[in-house]
Amino acid sequence: MARMDFEVVVLAGGTSRKLNPLVSQEIPKALLPVANRPVLSYVLELLEASNLKDLIVVAEGEDAALRIGGWISGAYVDRLHVEVAAVPEGVGTAGALRAVASYLTANDVLIISGDLVTDVPPGAVAATHRRHSAVVTALLCPAPVSGPSDTGTSGGKEKAKKPVCCNIVGLDPTRQYLLHMATGAEVEKDIRVQKSILRAVGQIEIRADLMDAHMYAFKRSVLQDILDQKDKFHSIKQDILPYLIRTQLNSEVSDNGVVKSESGMDNISSQNDLRWLSQHREIAPSAFQEPHAFSLKSLPDARRTHKCCVYISSESKYCARLNSIQAYSDINRDVVGEASHLSGYSFSAQNNIIHPSAELGSKTTVGPQCMLAEGSKLGDKCSVKRSVIGRHCRIGSNVKIVNSIVMNHVTIEDGCSIQGSVVCSNVQLQERVVLKDCQVGAGYVVTTGSDHKSESLARK
């Protein structure tokens, strides 16, 4: 039996268009290095720490699946039992789930996006889900503050530090139930709240400072039904979740009555059981002891209802999704900075990580919140601040790297200056290149003396 009757599906995604030119066929999104570790490893290690060792990883595209599978089997052999499934590209999260839905057997399913970097225990979401016997429970976290940190001496002046508003969330006064969720394009539109829900709850708290972290606990039977019935549904967040929220007072989901949720797995529960259980509900005042506001909702089951719950992580927990280039540099910065416990490395006294095999030239300084992976060489008089430098990079003299991410096997020649940029693997920066807020795709060669600002450079 699955642990605590939960199964875990990690949606690793494929090659996201948003992250061009960082991702490529060779490096799907899940393997994008964050502090020199694939981003997927953060999720896998979080799950491992929670004792969840049987996972299903779904990747978009055969290639991506192969690469992800290969990496997992190398890195997590004997630690995790992972099954990797490949789905065609562009099927969306709902499609990805549809592909693996038939393999699921446990009572509840925990679905985690592979690009999540967090330390919120998945158990908390699962426990909340269980406690409420909810149909779906979503993890909401305080929306991350985007943009470079204000301690940055340069860069991002024009990008004011502002929380990104990615979701508009409606909660009941006890902040346990999810009553409204607007995502994506809807955020810009007017908010339409269902009158029936409003009447049932009496009071809705609308918040824009919460972000859907894409960690959901679903009741398996309900999820499967929805996936079967609504074959138009493309994404969990855009379709399934709003659908469940919308219909929570008037449930169309086939068999998710109270009885079902109470009895859990009911393959063998006889008619007899159901009678007991229903009587239990009748007797137990607890059925009505939801927040008083909800008492209307739980009146006689003339209407069938289901519950959509939320787990709101505390401010102290780190939670971010790697879904944009900005988020990528933010997460990199945070993982070697304020959320350093996530990186799994031990920091030196200078609050940075320099691999012993890295070579530093004379008068080269590596500031705090930096990371220098193995085999990298820095020439003389270089300066590295708040940046991550990958493996086996060759960096010449008089190079300045600030607020940037340099991946593996990058060659940076003398006199370059890199600010707020992402330089992918195997890139060659020739002498005196100046990059500011740029992204350089893998294998690109930036010619001598060129000066780029806010550009995306990639091989055609």
Partner 1 sequence: MDMRRPPRTVSDPKVRQVGFVTPSVAPPTRSLSDAPTTVAAAAAALSASSPPSGEISLPGSSLSPVMIPPPRHASSDGRPSAPVAVPNPASSLRRDSLRIRVGSYNASEVVLGTPPSASPSSRTDYTASEFSEEAMSPWHGRSGTAKVASSFPGSSSEMIVMKTGVVGGGGAGSTPKSPLTTASVVKTLPGISEKEREVLMGTQNDGAGASKTLKEKTTKAERRALQEAQRAAKAAAKEAGAGVKPSAASGSAVAANTKQGKVVKPPPQKKDGPQIAPPSGTSEKKVVDRPPEKDRKKDVPAPRMQFDDKHRVEKAKRRAVVNQFEAKNRVELFRHLPQYIHGTQLPDLEGKFFQLDPMHPSVYKVGLQYLSGKISGGNARCIAMLLAFREAIRDYSTPPEKALVRDLTAKISSFVSFLIECRPLSISMGNAIKFLKNRIAKLPDAMSESEAKSSLQSDIDRFISEKIVIADKVIIRHAVTKIRDGDVLLTYGLSSVVEMILVYAHEVGKQFRVVIVDSRPKLEGQVLLHRLVAKGLNCTYTHINAISYIMHEVTRVFLGAASVLSNGTVYSRVGTACVAMVANAFRVPVLICCEAYKFHERVQLDSICSNELGDPDAISKVSGRKDLNHLDNWADNENLQLLNLSYDATPSDYVSMIITDYGMLPPSSVPVIVREYRRENLWI
As measured in angstroms, the least distance from the Cβ of 257 to partner 1 is 16
As measured in angstroms, the least distance from the Cβ of 176 to partner 1 is 9
Of the residues 234, 280, 381, 392, which one makes contact with partner 1 according to CB under 8 A: 280
d(CA 181, CA 1): 33
d(CA 333, CA 318): 13
Which residue number, 225 or 273, has a Cβ lying nearer to partner 1? 273
Q: How many residues does the chain have?
A: 460
**Residue 400 tokens, joined:** 């300045």
As measured in angstroms, the least distance from the Cβ of 230 to partner 1 is 28
> In this chain, which stretch among 115-123, 372-380, 433-441, 452-460 interacts with partner 1, using CB under 8 A?
115-123
d(CA 306, CA 245): 9
**Residue 418 tokens, joined:** 């890199």
127: enclosing H helix or E strand: helix 122-132
Of the residues 15, 24, 36, 107, which one makes contact with partner 1 according to CB under 8 A: 107
As measured in angstroms, the least distance from the Cβ of 334 to partner 1 is 21
Q: Is 419 helix (H, G, I), strand (E, B) or coil?
A: strand
Whether 60 and 13 have beta carbons less than 8 Å apart is answered as yes
Which residue number, 51 or 447, has a Cβ lying nearer to partner 1? 51
Q: What is the DSSP pairing of strand 6-13 with strand 54-60?
A: parallel
Of the residues 6, 177, 216, 218, which one makes contact with partner 1 according to CB under 8 A: 6
> In this chain, which stretch among 3-11, 66-74, 237-245, 390-398 interacts with partner 1, using CB under 8 A?
3-11
Of the residues 127, 145, 164, 193, which one makes contact with partner 1 according to CB under 8 A: 127
Which residue number, 138 or 182, has a Cβ lying nearer to partner 1? 138
Which residue number, 286 or 346, has a Cβ lying nearer to partner 1? 286
288 binds partner 1 (CB under 8 A): yes
The strand order across the sheet containing 81-87 reads 81-87, 54-60, 6-13, 108-113, 210-219, 136-142, 308-312
Q: How many residues bind partner 1 (CB under 8 A)?
A: 41
**Residue 179 tokens, joined:** 């009553």
Q: Where are the alpha helices (DSSP H) in 22-91?
A: 39-49, 62-75
Using CA atoms of 293, 294, 295, 296 in order, give the dihedral in degrees to the nearest 10: 100
Which residue number, 53 or 394, has a Cβ lying nearer to partner 1? 53
DSSP state of 4: G
d(CA 279, CA 276): 5
161 binds partner 1 (CB under 8 A): no
Could you tell me which residues come within 8 angstroms of residue 20 by beta carbon, excluding any fewer than 6 positions away? Answer: 441, 456, 458
345 binds partner 1 (CB under 8 A): no
Residues 294-323 that bind partner 1 (CB under 8 A): 295, 299, 314
**Residue 356 tokens, joined:** 């012993």
As measured in angstroms, the least distance from the Cβ of 218 to partner 1 is 16
Whether 214 and 39 have beta carbons less than 8 Å apart is answered as no
> In this chain, which stretch among 89-97, 218-226, 287-295, 383-391 interacts with partner 1, using CB under 8 A?
287-295
Which residue number, 123 or 367, has a Cβ lying nearer to partner 1? 123
Which residue number, 225 or 290, has a Cβ lying nearer to partner 1? 290
> In this chain, which stretch among 33-41, 55-63, 153-161, 265-273 interacts with partner 1, using CB under 8 A?
265-273
Binding site for partner 1 (CB under 8 A): 1, 3-6, 50-52, 107, 121-124, 126-128, 130-133, 262-264, 268, 272-273, 276-277, 279-280, 283-286, 288-290, 292, 295, 299, 314
